[in-house]
Chains A and B, each alone.
Chain A
Amino acid sequence: MTDYNLLARVHDLAGNTVTRNAVVSVLTGTVTKADPTKLPLANGQVRNATFAYGRNLAAGQTYIDPVTGVTVLKLTSATYPVANTAAMKGYATSGPRISQPWVGSDGHTYYTIALDSPNGFIDLRYDTFASSNFRDPGINCAEVDMAFSLNQATPRHCFSFTGGNVLRRYDTATGNEVVGNGFPKTISGQSSIRWLQTQLNDTWIAFMNNSNHVYLAYKPSTNVVRTMTGARSGLTHDELHLDLLNPIVYLSTDNEPNANAPWNLETDTLNKTANGVVFQSDDHCTPGLGFVGGMGHWQANGGAYTYQGDINKGTHIILTTAEYHSANADFYHNGAWCMNTRGPNVVDQWFVTSREFQDNAGTKIRRYALAFVKADGSQLRLIGHHDSSGNSGDTYFKWSKPSLSPDGKLLMWTSDMNGSNRTDVFVAKIPVS
């Protein structure tokens, strides 16, 4: 780490000048990036039937995934971070639910993780995988109700709603609200806002009023609020997905052929150009850095796909790779890796997929798998198996629903640990180079 002294000068009209130093510390050494290519290609590997995964571990203990060699931390237990009957991380997309990395006063790199249950924040030291400082400052961290800042200057800030329609910004280090520069913001006419998500620099923040599926977006720098009702779009809204880079919300729909219609927030225009491939019920796709992608829709056949909402041409770009999973495409996705990426273009990006309760022999993604998908569909890399045995019935909260950190170095998921009577949260350390 190297300390630099920037020089601040203040002058008055008479030319009187006063100076002071502003010290900033810059980390030195090689900057590593998450590198999915160091993981094995996904080629149909199945969960190790004799390995215990994290079932018998205490919170804070780790295991090595027997198929991929990835280190996995069991973050929670029935008694940690506080006594609980079920620990969960929340939904796959929205958020992000893991902060950017930040450097503590001890010089070590930490991430802050938001837990859905027990509600609150916990810090995770990267090198030792030691967690500490769980706190519940009264900020709603439910599964789609908070998002960490993606402004590099504020890695410990987050956003959450109170009262159903007041968007607030908080410092998760202190639990205090941070006011000013567009916050707090009351979203008029709405009362049950959820599905909170942000993008690079927190330029736009998007969310949905849950009671009527009205999609909304707010630009704090200009105080602009955009509104997309179902009547306006002509679509049956299900989820919204805010591009991590571009001012675009992809309208995920419910049994509609016009899936992922891009809504340009700057021009407030919606593009419903026929996309050529019908992915109905595409509600579990993920936004990424310049795209939205998935492994086929939630209920039927399909291959991996990405859509780019081209803000200049207003067209869709579709890349399809078949035979990743055959039928029964019960996937969740997360593409929060938007910082320190492997390259600047869409084809350089990766998103994560999970397969929850169905299986097809002979396909590359089998039940329990967690895998990276390259955004051009050209590669699948296996991270490990989540070991959660939720099925298609009433086990929604047992599904793994994985989420990446904004730098792609951590992956977090929920598991019921092979059908145990509780769920816990696990965190994997992604290989780097």
Chain B
Amino acid sequence: MKRLFAILCGCSTILLTGCTDIRSRRYADILAVTSGKEYSASLRCDGEETWYTAAAAAPKLLPTALENELGAQLSMGHLGLLMLQGDTLEPLTALLDDGQLVPTCPVLLCPKTSQVERFVDSNLAAQLQRSMETGLLPRRTVGDVYGDLRSAARITLLPCLVEDALTLAVSDGAQTLAILSEDACRGAALLCGRWDHFAFVEMRGASPETIRLKSCKCKLHMEQKGERLVLSVELSPEVESGDAELARTAVCRMLRAYFQEAVTDCAADACFLEETALRCGISIPDTAAWRALLRDAEIQVTAH
């Protein structure tokens, strides 16, 4: 009797593990969310070419609207790219809090969602992935962006498309504050430090030289002198190929460009400056005061 009971329990549990449910689910590959008077979403499922579009009054309702459009349960657990246009914080908060988005999904700020299909045809997700691996852009995922927008400065960095080229935008979740130069993008990638091979071309006189870094250690130290923050960055690039001196000059320039364009111009804190300040015994005031401190910060970059 007991065995029969155990077998029945076991079988029922296995039946409830949802094999049939999982088979009938549709898995999103790319999702594009546009915010305006109402929110609209375009979705492409894994292994399909068709795009499904739905609109809703709030971003939280978008998955249900998309499910109605698809006529099946939707899973975004394997989402390869999230494209956002306009408001960033609202859809991210709604989808992440609802458990719809995975924090490891790459995110991209997109100028016009009407052109989504064209971007996808040019294999944008793979292009973005390559840029992150080669240190052209820092690795920015849904979790990173959301974490930054909830931190003291509440300003983040987002990969974005400008005239078909991938670059980095500074955003406060509602609007784009600035677009970073190529040097600043590489500086951010250096600080984030999650690239596979960092290669770039530098001019030595009139001839170009390719420099490849093996690794680059960044040590950050912060101290408060009066009303001003002094941020010192020590770089130790290890060169795999190319001239070491040229490499040191270039990485210093890239980092200075990043701090100038993102931190002192826009008060962005995407590379754990808040945590560095706490580590160095500097208390973080409110958002406005922290932004003011970052804007007024003195940056010292050295390379060994």
B partners with A: no
Q: Which residues of B contact A (CB under 8 A)?
A: none
